[in-house]
Structure 1
Amino acid sequence: MNGMQKVLVVDNGEREPDSALSAELAGMGYASVTTSYEAADDVLAVIPNPTAVVLQMSQHADWSERRRFLELAHRLRRTLSPSGVPVLIAGGTSGALTMLQNELGSQAVAGPDL
């Protein structure tokens, strides 16, 4: 892949056009890879060092789905925290972008150095 920093977005596989983070992340200077919950581990094997992982839960998720995302977040935080990769849980696009900006600071707004 190119030299852009990569953000992994994990969702439930049901993507609405107005809830996609890819365009917003590109505007912040990040490449993004969106995958379903079920494929998250396989994608992390290909992208072992993402800049961040955003777990984008549906705002209408039932308790079972919320629990799956919380368990995944706990596991990913345990495995990715030694390398400083933040794992964020968001319920919508704007919330995810705000959390990502707060977590990564001015780096998220400025984009990668050229």
Structure 2
Amino acid sequence: MNDITGEQKLLAVLSHLAYLLGGLGFIVAPLVIFLLKREDRFVYEHAKQALVAHLVILVFSAITGLLCTLLIGFLLVPVLAIFWLLLLVTSIIAAVRAVDGQLYEYPLIQRFVNKL
């Protein structure tokens, strides 16, 4: 992985920081990069990590939203906020690692990542 190009680094960083695109861009961008760059191990691994992390937070957010309609989900809102903050911090760390040409593994989700 010594010959990581600027394009590879950019795609890896985009995968991690795709939530800045708004809407479902935080799922679509890493998914497209993941599907199109399967032959590029560096970009593929970064996109895979980001995609799984973003999917986990999306599912947790959806479950919390549904439970809020039953009035019990409001108890999960602070936990959800902590998870979003954790995603923000870890994705910035992942983006910095990508710029440095290194791989990054998000904490707590490796079991899901390894299945992909």
Q: TM-score, normalised by structure 1?
A: 0.33
What's the TM-score once normalised by structure 2's chain length? Answer: 0.32
More helix by share: 2
